[in-house]
Amino acid sequence: MGSTQTKLHWAVLLEDWEQTLRCLQKVKYNATIANRYGDYPLHLACYSGTAPPEVIQKLIKACPDAVRMKNKKGYDPLKLAEINYRRDDPTRKHVLAMLRTFVDAKLCAKYCDETDTESIQSIDNRPHGMNVEGGIQC
């Protein structure tokens, strides 16, 4: 378990979803690193309750093991998403379905391949996203 946060962790914490996807494209390995609290970038995205389904999908694909990992507080990404995505958020069902579906690896692979389309462009008009001037560079 890592003792520091990577640039990917910071992009997720800042809810800069475009930068998160760019970091994943450049250094996918960073998705496999947990911070000192046992949180992988997928955990942090689920803590936010605002990460678009495309981001969750890419984080799952980059580090499938993180779906089942519990952080030091004992929470896995599914539990964090259940707690933090508002019930009236239209993306909640999609995110929860992806995390639940992952238990069946074949179904997840089919699901992820069918829904993997131009992630960066699809979140361009995100309502909850945060883009910081001079943001994190991966």
Helical residues (DSSP H) of 64-104, grouped into ranges: 77-84, 92-101
Tell me the pLDDT tens digit for each residue of 53-104: 999 999 999 999 999 999 999 999 999 999 999 999 999 999 999 998 875 5
Rounded to the nearest integer, the mean pLDDT of the chain is: 81
**C-alpha distances in Å from residue 90, one per residue of 60, 85, 86, 131:** 20, 9, 9, 21
